[in-house]
């Protein structure tokens, strides 16, 4: 179990490490200022056990509970840039994990509906002050299967999948507004190629693909210990 410390602080040292991380992301080609501002605003170390404070500001993925990972900052920045989040957008996230990606979307002014299939991870976030303080009107969290999405909260302006999917789940395309965007890593050999799908008025869609990433797999159903 994680030992969340209610008194965690965002020190000048943390902020300095975060600034250096953001500069590193710029050097790697991330240039969406709104995304970079959001990553600067969210203390990533709050999503780690205290002993991993410094690692939180390295540009890499890191293990969390239930054999899952918190995505690499570059990946979060890349996916969020593709999503082109506007304040007021209703965004569905598949794969809540640590809650970090949700926090970045919230920071950009989105209303976030997020689904996690691992019960352990779903419960753990209840003990996490950063996420716990967010008003329920801005963030809805569900334990469930992302292949099914959330019929009751559809339609969505944007959908982001943060696990490597075998296909674009048809239900998620149905739950997307016309003109809406899905950003999804699709499994291909050892890697995942990033796909951006934009839905047309007649229900068809355009796709663009981007370079290789690596994700934990999107699995069907739910898992309870
Ligand atoms: N967005 C997360 C990334 C976590 S890793 C973060 O910022 O930390 C991806 C997550 O997707 C894992 O927690 C995994 O359990 C979850 N996942 C995998 N398949 C899923 C599915 N079908 N529905 C919902 N969540 C799923």
Domains and CATH numbers, the chain: 72-213 (3.40.50.150)
Q: Which of 11, 71, 102, 211 is catalytic?
A: 71
Three-point CA angle 81, 82, 86, nearest 5°: 65
pTM for the whole thing? 0.96
CA of 113 to the centre of ligand 1 (A): 13
Between β-strands 191-199 and 205-213, what pairing exists: parallel, antiparallel or unpaired? antiparallel
* Beta partners for residue 139, in sequence order: 112
pLDDT in tens, the chain (225 residues): 344 455 678 999 999 999 999 999 999 999 999 999 999 999 999 998 888 888 999 999 999 888 899 999 999 999 999 999 999 999 999 999 999 999 999 999 999 999 999 999 999 887 666 777 788 899 999 999 999 999 999 999 999 999 999 999 999 999 999 999 999 999 988 899 999 999 998 888 999 999 889 999 999 999 997
Tokens at 44, concatenated: 């990533």
The answer to whether 71 is a known catalytic residue is: yes
Cα–Cα distance for residue pair 5/28, rounded to 1 Å: 33
- Give, in order, the Cα–Cα distances in Å from 170 to each of 69, 146, 147: 25, 11, 8
If we measure between CA atoms, which residue out of 130, 79, 75 comes closest to residue 106?
Answer: 130
Q: Are strands 139-143 and 111-116 parallel, antiparallel or unpaired?
A: parallel
Q: Is the CB of 73 under 6 A from ligand 1?
A: no
């Amino acid at each position: 179990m994680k030992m969340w410390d209610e008194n965690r602080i965002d020190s000048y040292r943390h902020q300095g490490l975060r600034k250096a991380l953001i500069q590193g992301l710029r050097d790697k080609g991330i240039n969406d200022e709104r995304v970079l501002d959001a990553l600067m605003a969210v203390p990533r170390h709050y999503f780690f056990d205290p002993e991993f404070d410094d690692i939180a500001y390295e540009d890499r993925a890191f293990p969390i509970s239930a054999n899952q990972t918190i995505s690499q900052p570059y990946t979060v920045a890349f996916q969020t840039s593709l999503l082109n989040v506007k304040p007021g957008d209703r965004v569905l996230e598949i794969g809540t994990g640590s809650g970090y990606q949700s926090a970045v979307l919230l920071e950009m002014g989105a209303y976030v509906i997020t689904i996690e299939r691992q019960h352990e991870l779903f419960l753990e976030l209840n003990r996490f002050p950063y996420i716990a303080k967010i008003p329920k009107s801005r963030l809805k969290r569900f334990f469930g299967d992302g292949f099914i999405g959330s019929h009751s909260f559809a339609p969505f302006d944007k959908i982001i999948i943060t696990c490597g999917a075998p296909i674009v789940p048809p239900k998620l395309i149905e739950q997307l507004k016309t003109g809406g965007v899905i950003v999804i890593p699709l499994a291909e050999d050892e890697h995942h190629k990033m796909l951006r799908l934009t839905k047309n008025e007649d229900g068809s869609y355009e796709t663009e693909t981007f370079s290789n990433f690596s994700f934990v797999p999107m699995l069907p159903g739910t898992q309870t210990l």
